[in-house]
Amino acid sequence: MRSLLFLGLLSLAVARKTFFGDQVLTVHLENEAQAKTIRDLETKVDFWSPDSPYSIKAGTTADFRVPSEILPAVKVTLRRQKIQFEVKIEDVEILLQAQTESRDAKGILNGGIDYDYSVYHTYDEIMQWTTDIEKENPTLVKKTSIGTSTEGRDLPMLTLSKYPNTPRILIDCGIHAREWIAPAYCQCLVRTLLGGGTITTGIPTLNDATYHILPLLNPDGYVYSRESDRMWRKTRSRYTGNVCYGTDPNRNFKAAWSGPGSSANSCSDTYYGPSAESEPEVKALADYVRDNADDLKMYVTFHSYSQVIIYPYSYKDEMAPNGIDLGDFAQEGAAAAKATHGKTYTYGPGSESMYLAAGGSDDFTYDQGVPIVYTIELRDTGLNGFLLPERQILAQCEEMDQLMGVLQNRAKTYSYP
């Protein structure tokens, strides 16, 4: 009896959080009073885009998830303040379950030759895949590790190289836990580089580049997002004196750390952490960048959502010294993506195209001297937000391969300063 009770409690403790009746609303903010009303919801709602209340301003729109318990009250407030809004997602839980329907229909999947690139894989499957990919391509792929996460998970790096001394490109995916399409794209990118993609022209290639790919940079957060709270964004560290778990790894880098667009509150989704590089995942990447910056031609970090190609700076309202070039390459890349499946990617310096947000991996890497740096926000523009259905993964991969093909091509001959 007692052991049954214990098992019951245990299953309660690990049960996945559900989101029945929660809605994602898009608000159109006409004036400062309306913007303030939304910012004041900080502790009650989950901001999706922008990801922090500080970035919510008059003349912009914002997407946020409202828990079902407070939904009627929030709608009353919006109507009272004459804030124009629409319901972007009717029921978050239903969309969340639909997101993985391909995977569910196919049953449990394994890594290896038959690895399925059109589903969202578990942490264990992704780790097994990194091992298999190396084993199956011993001359092209080398698996190393840049460190371990707070909970002791490995941070693998796949180096793909065909010819020595080709320009080196650093890629990471999955800094933010709930942005599942990002690690899914990193897996596709590896497949494409190894010749297994679906489109064969205009794609990234090992003929004139060496790729260092970190397929899952925040594994603790990813596991937590899969098993406990789908909307989890941060790491899973916890510091003495803090009320909440997790630091936003993309506010934890030494790039105007603790500056604009980041929060001192451990319960915030943009918490910058107790000190710069406090997160082992961040320290591991930062160490790698410090050690290799002189040799790296390009760094691209994948996030979602909103279809934006962001380049420095995001911690200050200034154009990067080679910002014109970065804008030109982004424009060309966006055109290639659009030609694939018709999707529009906007682009610009972070401070303009997104919002001021200090402590990001892109600005840090740029300041270390890597000349071409982008944060790419993948699909979509809010219809599904973080809950992009699996049936869109392959199209996402195809259009991103075209964009990456352009960026690689530009990086190849680029010299700056």
Asked if 234 is part of the footprint of Zn ion (rule: CB under 5 A), the reply reads no
Asked if 303 is part of the footprint of Zn ion (rule: CB under 5 A), the reply reads yes
252 within 8 A of 282, measured Cβ to Cβ = yes
Asked if 379 is part of the footprint of Zn ion (rule: CB under 5 A), the reply reads no
Instruction: Select the span of 127-135, 174-182, 358-366, 389-397 touching Zn ion (CB under 5 A).
Output: 174-182
We find the least distance from the C-beta atom of residue 207 to ligand 0X9, in angstroms, to be 30
In three-state secondary structure terms, 62 is: strand
Amino acid at 29: L
Nearest to 222 by CA among 117, 123, 118: 123
We find the least distance from the C-beta atom of residue 250 to Zn ion, in angstroms, to be 6
Beta strand 346-349 with 210-214 is: unpaired
Q: Which residue has the tokens 């406090």?
A: 278
Asked if 65 is part of the footprint of Zn ion (rule: CB under 5 A), the reply reads no
Task: Specify the residue, 214 or 354, whose C-beta has the smaller distance to ligand 0X9.
Answer: 354
The option from Zn ion, ligand 0X9, none interacting with 310 (CB < 5 to 8 A, set by class) reads ligand 0X9
Asked if 191 is part of the footprint of Zn ion (rule: CB under 5 A), the reply reads no
In three-state secondary structure terms, 157 is: strand
Task: Specify the residue, 149 or 314, whose C-beta has the smaller distance to ligand 0X9.
Answer: 314
The option from Zn ion, ligand 0X9, none interacting with 392 (CB < 5 to 8 A, set by class) reads none
Number of neighbours of residue 183 by Cβ within 10 angstroms: 26
In three-state secondary structure terms, 188 is: helix
CA distance 261 to 167: 33
We find the least distance from the C-beta atom of residue 350 to ligand 0X9, in angstroms, to be 4
Ramachandran bin of 99, using left for φ above 0, alpha for ψ from -120 to 50, beta for the remaining angles: alpha
403 within 8 A of 376, measured Cβ to Cβ = yes
Q: Edge-to-edge strands of the sheet including 61-66?
A: 46-49, 61-66, 23-28, 84-89
Closest residue to ligand 0X9, based on beta-carbon distance: 360
Q: Is 1 exposed, middle or buried (0-12, 13-18, 19+ CB in 10 A)?
A: exposed
Question: Which position among 65, 176, 191, 251 is part of the footprint of Zn ion (CB under 5 A)?
Answer: 176
Q: Is 377 among the catalytic positions?
A: yes
Nearest to 315 by CA among 375, 357, 352: 357
Asked if 297 is part of the footprint of Zn ion (rule: CB under 5 A), the reply reads no
We find the least distance from the C-beta atom of residue 361 to ligand 0X9, in angstroms, to be 7
Task: Specify the residue, 203 or 310, whose C-beta has the smaller distance to Zn ion.
Answer: 310
The option from Zn ion, ligand 0X9, none interacting with 51 (CB < 5 to 8 A, set by class) reads ligand 0X9
Q: Which of 42, 179, 281, 377 is catalytic?
A: 377
Q: Which residue has the tokens 């259009």?
A: 399
Task: Specify the residue, 61 or 128, whose C-beta has the smaller distance to ligand 0X9.
Answer: 61
Applying CB under 6 A, which residues contact ligand 0X9?
51, 176, 179, 250, 303, 310, 314, 350, 354, 357, 360, 362-363, 375, 377
We find the least distance from the C-beta atom of residue 224 to ligand 0X9, in angstroms, to be 16
Asked if 178 is part of the footprint of Zn ion (rule: CB under 5 A), the reply reads no
Task: Specify the residue, 141 or 214, whose C-beta has the smaller distance to ligand 0X9.
Answer: 214
The option from Zn ion, ligand 0X9, none interacting with 350 (CB < 5 to 8 A, set by class) reads ligand 0X9
The option from ligand 0X9, Zn ion, none interacting with 375 (CB < 5 to 8 A, set by class) reads ligand 0X9
355 within 8 A of 270, measured Cβ to Cβ = no
The option from ligand 0X9, Zn ion, none interacting with 354 (CB < 5 to 8 A, set by class) reads ligand 0X9
In three-state secondary structure terms, 275 is: coil
Going 200 to 115 to 390 to 249, the CA torsion angle's sign is: negative
Instruction: Select the span of 58-66, 94-102, 301-309, 330-338 touching Zn ion (CB under 5 A).
Output: 301-309
Nearest to 146 by CA among 279, 273, 297, 294: 279
Task: Specify the residue, 144 or 344, whose C-beta has the smaller distance to ligand 0X9.
Answer: 344
16 within 8 A of 228, measured Cβ to Cβ = yes
We find the least distance from the C-beta atom of residue 67 to ligand 0X9, in angstroms, to be 20
We find the least distance from the C-beta atom of residue 274 to ligand 0X9, in angstroms, to be 19
Alpha carbon dihedral 362, 411, 180, 393, in 10-degree steps, equals 160
Instruction: Select the span of 60-68, 177-185, 280-288, 404-412 touching Zn ion (CB under 5 A).
Output: 177-185
Amino acid at 98: A
We find the least distance from the C-beta atom of residue 378 to Zn ion, in angstroms, to be 9
201 within 8 A of 146, measured Cβ to Cβ = no
What are the beta bridge partners of residue 310?
348, 375
Residues designated catalytic: 377
Q: Which residues would be at the binding site for Zn ion (CB under 5 A)?
A: 176, 179, 303
